[in-house]
Chain A
Amino acid sequence: MAYGKFREALDRHRKRLNKGKGHKIKPADLDKMIAKLEQRRQDLLAEAQAKPHKAERITHKQAALDEILANARSLRARLEPAGGNPDSGA
């Protein structure tokens, strides 16, 4: 997702939190998701090598996954800035 769209989604999430809706996301929750996404990336790389005839389709999938992973890492960095409070959440 384009970074601007992700920012908008994050703003909506924060507004929902302010209304007492939704869940506060903590660094450990995001670490779990990032680990899943990284594993998925490895799986797609392995699939592209094992099934060259599907390489083009898998390349498109990887591009989408990379954007999601970048947004997840960006959110992770906001939750716990270097030297910041590990209990902070979004």
Chain B
Amino acid sequence: MLQALRAELRHLYENGAALCAEAINLRLADLVQSRDLPLTVARNREAIGLDLDRRYNDKVKALHAAIIDFAASKASLPLPEPAVRRLQELRDGANAVVRAVKAIKHLQRNTRRFTERDHGAVSTLYDRLRTEIASILVAIETLEATDPAQRSSLWIAEERRALRKGAEEVSASLESLLRARRISAADATSFLNDAHNAQEAMNALLDAAEVLYRDPDDILAEIERLLTPEDESDEQQAP
């Protein structure tokens, strides 16, 4: 039962990840094959023509609802404690995919505006955001492709650290661009809001991945939970 639910969560994640990439004019397959992500991101600026609301309804919303329904129907069964815990995790993972898509939706308009046409320094900043999102999507696909015996959900903590450091660097770049008057205050405000949305989307993608790649062995999973750094993960929120 839990394996089937995990498979559905992976399916939901795939749909959500593809949507997140296309919302910022990137294709997941191109990113996975890329040997130079910043270059791939810089070269992919043309509008993909995604109808985000429609794709969300068709590919994410219905599947998310089915997962939540299934988890709710099993939650009333007399399951052992580890199974109850895993069931809750998988449900939280499904909620995280929805959170990611909703956060991406907020930054789609400006990201496309500043990348489909070159607006100078602000376009460079948006490309850095797109590259960060691309890095997270690729890292999660790399985990998927790794032998389950060799991987651990603890690798996600590494991505969270890299993400936090990347955000600090982007923030420093923004300040220096503002001081040099190479970016307007209005564009800087838009970027700050969108950077926040991007962080939310990336953390939500990582939340979902942390659940997906939890060790199938109950005791190793327990160790992973114990060793997962709390200070670098966002609290799980219902969408």
Majority SS of interface residues in chain A? Answer: helix
Q: Which of B36, B227, B229 contacts A53 (CB 8 A)?
A: B36
How many A residues touch the partner, as a band? 35 or more
B155: CB under 8 A from chain A? yes
- Whether B223 and A61, one on each chain, are in contact in the complex, defined by CB atoms closer than 8 angstroms, is no
A60 and B229 contacting across the interface, CB-CB below 8 Å: no
A85 to chain B, nearest CB (A): 19
B222 in contact with A9 (CB, 8 Å) = no
B154 touches A1 (CB 8 A): no
Residues in chain A near residue B222, CB distance under 8 A:
13, 22-23, 25
Cβ of A77 within 8 Å of any chain B Cβ, yes or no, is no
How many chain B residues touch A (Cβ–Cβ < 8 Å)? 30
Q: Tell me if B51 is interfacial: C-beta within 8 Å of chain A.
A: no
Q: Are B227 and A39 in contact (CB under 8 A)?
A: no
Stretch at the interface among B23-31, B97-105, B160-168, B198-206: B160-168
Q: Which residues of A contact B155 (CB under 8 A)?
A: 40
From A13, A36, A39, A64, B160 is in contact (CB under 8 Å) with A64
Mark contacts of B220-231 with chain A using CB atoms, 8 A cut-off: 1 yes-contact digit, 0 otherwise. 101110111111
Partner of B81 from A5, A22, A65 at Cβ < 8 Å: A22
User: Once the chains bind, are A5 and B152 in contact (CB under 8 Å)?
Assistant: no
Alpha-carbon separation in the docked complex, A63 to B165 (Å): 11
- What is the bound-complex CA distance between A2 and B227, given in angstroms? 11
Tell me if B219 and A23 are in contact (CB < 8 A): yes
Cβ-defined contact, B231 with A5, below 8 A: yes
Q: Is the CB of B150 within 8 A of A64?
A: no
Residues of A within 8 A of B150 (CB): 36, 39
- 20 more A-B residue pairs beyond the given contacts A25-B219, A29-B223, A44-B158, with a C-beta to C-beta distance below 8 A: A1-B157, A1-B230, A1-B231, A5-B229, A22-B222, A29-B219, A33-B227, A36-B150, A37-B152, A40-B152, A53-B36, A57-B162, A57-B165, A60-B164, A61-B159, A61-B161, A64-B158, A64-B161, A64-B232, A65-B157
- B positions within 8 Å CB-CB of A: 36, 81-82, 135, 150, 152, 154-155, 157-162, 164-166, 218-220, 222-224, 226-232
Q: Which residues of A pack against B, CB within 8 Å?
A: 1-2, 5-6, 9-10, 13, 20-23, 25-26, 29-30, 32-33, 36-37, 39-40, 44, 53, 57, 60-65, 67-68, 71-72, 75
